[in-house]
Amino acid sequence: MTTTEVDLEAQTSKGDLLLEVQDVAKYFPVRNNALFNRAQASVKAVDGVSLSLRVGETLGVVGESGCGKSTLARLIAALHPVTSGRIRFKGREITTLDRRHMRPLRRSIQMVFQDPYGSLNPRRRVGSILSDPFAVHTQMSRAEMREQVRDLMSRVGLSPEHYNRFPAEFSGGQRQRIGIARALALRPDLIICDEPVSALDVSIQAQIINLLEDLQDEFMLTYIFIAHDLSVVRHVSDRIAVMYLGKIVETGPVEEIYSSSRHPYTASLLSAVPVADRAFKNGRKARVILSGDVPSPQNPPTGCRFHPRCPKAQAICSSAEPPLEQKPGDPVGHLTACHFPVEAGEALALASREPTDAEDAEAPDAAGEQS
Amino acid sequence: MSQGGLIGVDVEQERAEEKDPELLAKGIEQEFVGRTPWRLAWLRLRKDKVAMVSLGFIVFLVLVAIFAPLLTALIGHGPNTQYTTSGLSLSGIPVGPGHNGFILGTDDQGRDVLSRIIYGTQISLEVGVGATGLALVIGTVIGLLAGYYGGWVDSVLGRFMDILLSFPILLFAIAIVARFGPSLELLIIVIAMFSWPYIGRLVRGQVIGLREREFVEAARALGASDLRIMVIEIAPNLIALAIIYATLLIPVNIVLEATLSFLGLGIQPPTASWGNMISEAQTGDLYTVAWWFLVFPCVALVLTTLAFNLFGDGLRDALDPRQGRGHLGAKAKVKRGARLLVGKLDEGEAQS
Amino acid sequence: MIRVVLRRLVYLVLVLFVITLLTYIVFFVGNPNDLAARFAGRDAGPAEIRDAAVRLGLNHGFWYQYWHYLTGLLHGSFGLDFQNQVPINSEISRAFPVTASLVLGAVVIWLLIGIPIGIMSATHPRSLRDRAGTTFALTFLSMPTFVLGVLFLLVFYYYLTRAGLSWFPAAGYVGLTSSPGQWFLHLILPWLTLALVQAAVYTRLIRGSLLDVLGEDYIRTARAKGLSRRTVIYKHGVRAALTPVVTQLGIDIGTLLAGAFVTERVFGLPGLGQLALNAIGAADLPVVAAIVVLAASFIVVMNTIVDIVYAVLDPRVRLA
Ligand SMILES: Nc1ncnc2c1ncn2[C@@H]1O[C@H](COP(=O)(O)OP(=O)(O)OP(=O)(O)O)[C@@H](O)[C@H]1O
Ligand code: SF4
Ligand SMILES: [Mg+2]
């Protein structure tokens, strides 16, 4: 995995190295009911992820629900201890820090949460919620805090007069603005946005994303931007990492991923991207069929974890795990973990072994359309 | 929409309606009706006639307790004065209601029943509210710690509460009071000692749900300390639950006080408490011809518990609309623990 | 199964240990000489008090006393009481049948009242019948047991007797073996007193849990499959709804068997509750401890039985 890191570094040049994640894993122990059976099973939510990030950059992380995106975010934000691996922030190892030493670092890494309803305490007024960062990290007086909060509110497009309202009195989009204001309060270096718009109406999504972009320019922010589909991240990201069952299966510059994705999983995700970005065929969206459900991360498939659903899978896929590496012909920084990467113009949907939905299977040729 | 319950862990109902995105796009803040969760609850509660009448009665009781000296002065009869001439007939039979200025009659010693009931109100509320308040504080702190930290802290505290709950409570309360001699303070402490685990368990359950909420995670991401999270993030979300169950625990504790007093282990005569009034009445035979000095304290006690129960029920519906289904309705969605507690509270350990 | 019972036994031992210890501490805090003085008789001089202390074993100090008590328990003996130096076992075996008669009779009555009303309320939610059931529950829920008992005595004993209708006897107890008829008559009012309050609790419990169950998917499925409403309610619904009832019943029976203090006091029944009250009043420590032990044992044993009944009622529950 070290090669990965080197490659990534080589690729990014926007600013100084801000974050390095090295082979990080998080296993959640699962309690099985049998009292005396202590054989511990575990959910391998994140299983050997490496990535790095430079100042001012935005990394998009995509993957289906349950693939470990949020867990990865929490590991980076030090909300969970890692099971193994290392995380360095500004060159400093943070996985081994105790609570007290972690505290100042929390100023620099902040999160925007997925659920604008769940992430704001329904029993507290917005002004009070937004003064939290100052109350925890500074010695400001109440009046100063109030001033700061009002300033923050207007920066994210909220009316400072609504200082005394409860979260329930705001719309979803406004609530997400509050969440962003809270993350922004201490002027962090890195903000991890965990699906910040997926709970919002499409029309409001764009506003929130624009807001995030404006703030990035204004405050030199670095983002990790998580989403479960590719269309959202395309707009904001410089680079993209595609996750599947706790692992990164493909990563590279955003246009690389969109124009010439190599991993069958990425290709199928791309084919699921709706309308605007996609080519139409006979007035209908072209789709690759992913047969079956996401396997349980408690008991991931052997070899390539994607093999039970992969249209291109062959014998070796179930036994040998493909390394995340640069494939021939790809530019530096475009890495794929697949034994049989998708070739340009390849008709992937036809390779689908078990189309579950005959109707959709009629529309072939998804990934190929891209190139 | 906006039918925000104050208790529910799920947020579905708290969502404000997403309004006209066009306005937002133009940077115009939409106006939402100023509906805080508490306001909504109050609006719901106000529509509940039974609950409002009960609340009225409770307020009345509180006023009676506060102005007891004034009221008895107005009546003109002290609670402990024996009116042997005006209050008892020549053959020693108590005077009936409405006679000689004794509105509710006199008891076997010629004391004014109404004045004694008024002072009994004071005792009942003092013990009921005092013990419940104490139980609430202990139960909330322990439940918060157990629920928030989980792990061995939870195991130890949880087991402790279980053991306390499987105690023969009344027996133990009796033993302690008997050993240390009855006093108002001891009564409050003993009753609180045995009622806090109900609150503790409920709070624990609630906290386990809250602990996983994103806003707690957000606080942690900010670097807030455990104490700060418990006090500032979690505790405000427990207030509604605490209010409901405190309201339901008060009548249980009032009955417990009355029962202990009835058994001679609570408030000691001549200080009047409803329990010892009933007990004193029942020791002689006079009450069989002069029912009033037995029956009126009973009525006071029953009306009071009834009022608190009804109000608590209405409050539960108002604060947590998803759980209740009308009055005394099936708590269809009440979590098991809560239901057990309700059973427990209703049953009133003291009542065996 | 065996494992459950074993685990419960361990738990029982733990609970017994803790609560006997607490009982002893409560009584010994302060000066054990107080205890000795109480039992030395009136006007006892220091010598007599010392004699009493020796006689009662109080001279040995706290831990010795406690240990002595525990070893006695292991041999199935509660020892002698302080007051009269009679074996506590025999006092208990005299009082227990009284309490058992009271409690078991009351259980039958409260189930017979509570379950039908609860089912009726749940199957016709918000109807007039439901309201009536609710009113019943509410009335008796707010009625402390001793109030109910005292009023019963007033109305059904005094007033009826004075009106020439001596249907109910005065307070007191007659053994089942000496006269079944009298036994029954003497217990009617105590049974009703105890049962009505409990019936109210059970009405609510059953209504709630049945409504719960009837709203569940598998019941809807059963209805959709064309099973009649009756079959669904009684064969599937009630059966499942009984689970919380069983839990509560276990707790209630366990608690009450150790003494239904209030009811026994009101009706002058010489059961365990009266025994305990008297012993507490007289600071008769070994008797109090004995009843505490009994109470805790009943509760734990009933809980164990509940667990087993659970497994029978609900095949999904497996005894681990
Ligand atoms: N605290 C936890 N304890 C146990 N398992 C967990 C925990 N958090 C997450 N998991 C499991 O880890 C896996 C990854 O979860 P994660 O929340 O990271 O997914 P995600 O990619 O963010 O999904 P989504 O798009 O739904 O948010 C899931 O199987 C989840 O059940
Ligand atoms: S390694 Fe095999 S199974 Fe995995 S994605 Fe590539 S082709 Fe599919
Ligand atoms: Mg997530």
pLDDT in tens, C242-285: 877 887 888 788 878 877 888 998 898 999 989 988 888 787 87
Q: Does C126 touch chain B (CB under 8 A)?
A: yes
Q: Which phi and psi (to 5°) does residue C23 adopt? A: -60, -45
| pLDDT, averaged in runs of 10, over chain A (371 residues) | 40 68 91 51 89 92 90 92 92 86 88 89 91 92 93 92 88 92 93 90 88 91 90 88 93 90 88 48 46 75 89 89 90 91 71 41 39 35
- The Cα–Cα gap between B277 and B261 comes to 9
Q: What is the DSSP string of C30-51?
A: S-HHHHHHHHS-TT--HHHHHH
Nearest by CB to B351, from C137, C212, C262: name it: C262
Report the pLDDT value the prediction gives residue C196, as an integer from 0 to 100: 92
* pLDDT value at B228 more than 90: yes
Q: Is the CB of A264 under 6 A from ligand 2?
A: yes
Q: Which domains does chain A have, with CATH numbers?
A: 3-237 (3.40.50.300), 262-360 (no CATH)
* pLDDT value at B249 more than 60: yes
Phi-psi category of A99—alpha, beta or left, where left has phi over 0 and alpha has psi -120 to 50?
alpha
Nearest CA to ligand 1 atom 14: A68
Token digits of residue C244: 């919380």
Report the pLDDT value the prediction gives residue B7, as an integer from 0 to 100: 58
Report the pLDDT value the prediction gives residue A347, as an integer from 0 to 100: 66
Cis peptide before C87 (omega within 30 of 0): no
Q: Which of B4-18, B65-79, C55-69 is the most confident on average? A: B65-79
Measured from the Cα of A80, ligand 1's closest atom is 1
Closest-CA distance, C262 to chain B, in angstroms, reads 6
Nearest CA to ligand 2 atom 6: A338
* pLDDT value at C174 more than 60: yes
Mean residue pLDDT across chain C: 80
Domain assignment of residue B308, given as a range = 60-351
Burial B176-200 (b: 16+ CB within 10 A, else e): bbbbeebebebbbbbbbbbbbbbbb
Mean pLDDT of C42-56: 73
CB contact under 8 A, B213 and A118: yes
Q: What is the DSSP string of A33-66?
A: S-SS----EEEEEEEEEEEEEETT-EEEEE--TT
Closest-CA distance, C226 to chain B, in angstroms, reads 25
Task: For residue range B264-280, list pLDDT tens digits in order.
Answer: 888 888 888 898 898 88
Q: Which of B6, B48, B41, B19 is nearest to B310 (CA)?
A: B48
Q: Which residue of C has its CA nearest to B282?
A: C150
Which residues in B lie closer than 8 A to residue A106 (C-beta atoms)? 221-223
* pLDDT value at B330 more than 60: no
pLDDT band at B344 (very low <50, low <70, confident <90, very high): very low
Closest-CA distance, B265 to chain A, in angstroms, reads 43
Q: Which residue has the higher pLDDT, A51 or B338?
A: A51
Distance A301 CA to ligand 2 centre (A): 12
Q: Which of A104, A286, A128, A67 is nearest to A189 (CA)?
A: A104
What is the distance of C-alpha B137 from the center of its chain?
A: 13
Q: Which residue of C has its CA nearest to A35?
A: C320
Which residue in the block uniquely carries the two structure tokens 């095949």?
A: C315
Report the pLDDT value the prediction gives residue B177, as an integer from 0 to 100: 78
Those residues with Cβ within 8 angstroms of residue A311's Cβ, 6 or more apart along the chain or in another chain? A264, A268, A288, A289, A348, A349, A351, A352, A353
Measured from the Cα of A67, ligand 1's closest atom is 21
Split into its structural domains, chain B has a count of 1
Counted across chains A and B, CB pairs separated by less than 8 A come out at: 119
Q: Which phi and psi (to 5°) does residue A92 adopt? A: -110, 130
Residue B306 inside a domain? The answer is yes
Phi-psi category of C83—alpha, beta or left, where left has phi over 0 and alpha has psi -120 to 50?
alpha
Which residue in the block uniquely carries the two structure tokens 């004071």?
A: B122
Report the pLDDT value the prediction gives residue B129, as an integer from 0 to 100: 93
- The Cα–Cα gap between B119 and B307 comes to 19
Mean pLDDT of B25-43: 59
- Residue ranges per structural domain of chain C: 2-74, 91-319
Residue B10 inside a domain? The answer is no
Report the pLDDT value the prediction gives residue C31, as an integer from 0 to 100: 60
Q: Is the CB of A45 under 6 A from ligand 1?
A: yes
Cα–Cα distances (Å) from C214 to B80, C132, C211, C240, C245, in that order, read 56, 21, 5, 9, 16
Task: For residue range C198-242, list pLDDT tens digits in order.
Answer: 898 888 888 888 887 777 767 677 777 777 777 777 777 777 778
CATH class of the region C91-319: mainly alpha
Question: CB-side exposure of C179: number of CA atoms within 13 Å?
Answer: 8
Report the pLDDT value the prediction gives residue A275, as an integer from 0 to 100: 38
Mean pLDDT of B228-254: 90
Q: Which of A24, A27, A28, A32 to mutate to test the pocket of ligand 1 (most atoms within 8 A of CB)?
A: A28
Report the pLDDT value the prediction gives residue A289, as an integer from 0 to 100: 54
Mean pLDDT of B184-194: 88
**Helix B113-149 to helix B184-211 angle, to the nearest 10 degrees?**
40
Report the pLDDT value the prediction gives residue B240, as an integer from 0 to 100: 85
| A285: enclosing H helix or E strand | strand A284-285
Closest-CA distance, C245 to chain A, in angstroms, reads 25
Q: Which of A265, A317, A321 to mutate to test the pocket of ligand 2 (most atoms within 8 A of CB)?
A: A317
* pLDDT value at B19 more than 70: no
- The Cα–Cα gap between A164 and A159 comes to 11
SS3 (DSSP) at B100: coil
Residue B8 inside a domain? The answer is no
Q: Hey, CA dihedral for C265, C269, C272, C274, is it positive or negative?
A: positive
- The Cα–Cα gap between C227 and A56 comes to 66
Which residues in C lie closer than 8 A to residue A34 (C-beta atoms)? 320
* pLDDT value at B114 more than 60: yes
Report the pLDDT value the prediction gives residue B4, as an integer from 0 to 100: 47
Q: Which of B297, B242, B248 is nearest to B128 (CA)?
A: B248
| C115: enclosing H helix or E strand | helix C88-123
pLDDT band at C33 (very low <50, low <70, confident <90, very high): low
CATH number at residue B198: 1.10.3720.10
Where is average pLDDT lowest: A286-290, B44-48, B193-197? Answer: A286-290
Report the pLDDT value the prediction gives residue B84, as an integer from 0 to 100: 77
Q: Which of B211, B231, B208 is nearest to B141 (CA)?
A: B231
CB contact under 8 A, B339 and C258: no
Report the pLDDT value the prediction gives residue B194, as an integer from 0 to 100: 82
Nearest CA to ligand 1 atom 4: A28
Task: For residue range C141-155, list pLDDT tens digits in order.
Answer: 888 888 999 888 888
